Amino acid sequence: MADPMPNNTRNSLQNIFRDVFDDEQLQLRDELSPETLPAWDSLGHIRLISALEDELQLSFTLDEIEAMSSVAKILAVLADKT
């Protein structure tokens, strides 16, 4: 299956993750989730959503925010927004 997101969006997302979770070595993978990244707790999720909204000039509904439980799901929501 082809990646629906352009590389620049994926790169932007990786930079946002690295900034929010203060880890310059973090490698973005579709399966990355709160279960696989300990820093992605409830506060981390709020910070991530806020950074996504600021950096990508988007706003998300509560349903979208709750659905963003992995990188793959974040990419899906972003694909729906573009």
Q: Is the pLDDT of residue 3 over 50?
A: no
pLDDT at residue number 8: 83
Question: Is 75:5 a contact under the CB 8 Å cutoff?
Answer: yes
Evaluate the CA torsion angle 38, 41, 47, 50 in order and state its sign.
Answer: positive
Question: 15: helix, coil or strand?
Answer: helix
Cα separation of 45 and 47, whole Å? 5
Q: What six digits make up the tokens of 20?
A: 């929010």
Domain at 7-21+34-81: CATH code: 1.10.1200
Question: Is 74:52 a contact under the CB 8 Å cutoff?
Answer: yes
pLDDT at residue number 67: 96
Q: Mean pLDDT, the chain, as a whole number?
A: 91
Q: Is the pLDDT of residue 35 over 80?
A: yes
